[in-house]
Amino acid sequence: MAEQPDVAALVAFYNQINHYGRTNGLQLTVQAPGRVTYTMKVREDHLSSPGTCHGGVVAGLMDAVLGAAALTQAFVEQELVSTVEFKMNFLHPVRLHDELVATARVEHHGKSLVVVDGTIECPARQLTVARGLGTFNRYPASKRDFIQALTGQLGAEPDAPQTA
């Protein structure tokens, strides 16, 4: 029987190389492969008008949570994912200082595609502010420098440019 990958170690490594998440104050929690939560507090640099968060920030959080759910499921099979498409519905405006909780879970894990469902909530205001659905392509982790960087075989920073 093949040795199972250490999903927790892969997630920890992903958090190290995820500049987008760090820059935007995202905190990832993995309940299980394919089920994740991101939390984020809306800051002034997230605003598009006085007191209102830019829709791109909310969309970025949705893409991040959908992708993280797909990625943690893919890690189980030593695979990675890339976004094919995602859609979302903005249900309520997001305000300065809102604490957002984004959750996602894998709904379908097929041979080549993963489908993930997600929501973003503002618990303090008891609102679901957005819903989303994403489709992701599965591919072997060996096709990218991810595994080599994880094992220290690249000799460069994990986010160094890839070579053909």
- Examine residue 157 and state whether it is found in any structural domain, yes or no: no
Q: Show the domain range for 55.
A: 7-151
- Examine residue 129 and state whether it is found in any structural domain, yes or no: yes
Q: Determine whether 58 is exposed, middle or buried from the number of CB atoms within 10 Å of its CB (0-12, 13-18, 19+).
A: buried
Residue 1: pLDDT band (50, 70, 90) is: very low
- Examine residue 164 and state whether it is found in any structural domain, yes or no: no
- Count the residues in the chain: 164
Q: Residue 100 pairs with which residues in a beta bridge?
A: 40
The pLDDT of 62-85, averaged and rounded, is 93
- Examine residue 88 and state whether it is found in any structural domain, yes or no: yes
Per DSSP, the three-state class of 124 is helix
The CA dihedral of 121, 13, 116, 109, to the nearest 10 degrees, is -160
- Examine residue 163 and state whether it is found in any structural domain, yes or no: no
- Examine residue 162 and state whether it is found in any structural domain, yes or no: no
Q: What does pTM read for this prediction?
A: 0.84
- Examine residue 14 and state whether it is found in any structural domain, yes or no: yes
Mean pLDDT of the chain: 87
Q: Which residue has the higher pLDDT, 154 or 105?
A: 105
- Examine residue 116 and state whether it is found in any structural domain, yes or no: yes
State the CATH number of the domain containing residue 106: 3.10.129.10
Answer whether 71's CB lies under 8 Å from 14's CB. yes
Give pLDDT, residue 108.
97
Specify the number of domains making up the chain.
1
Instruction: Kindly tell me if the per-residue pLDDT of 152 is higher than 90.
Output: no
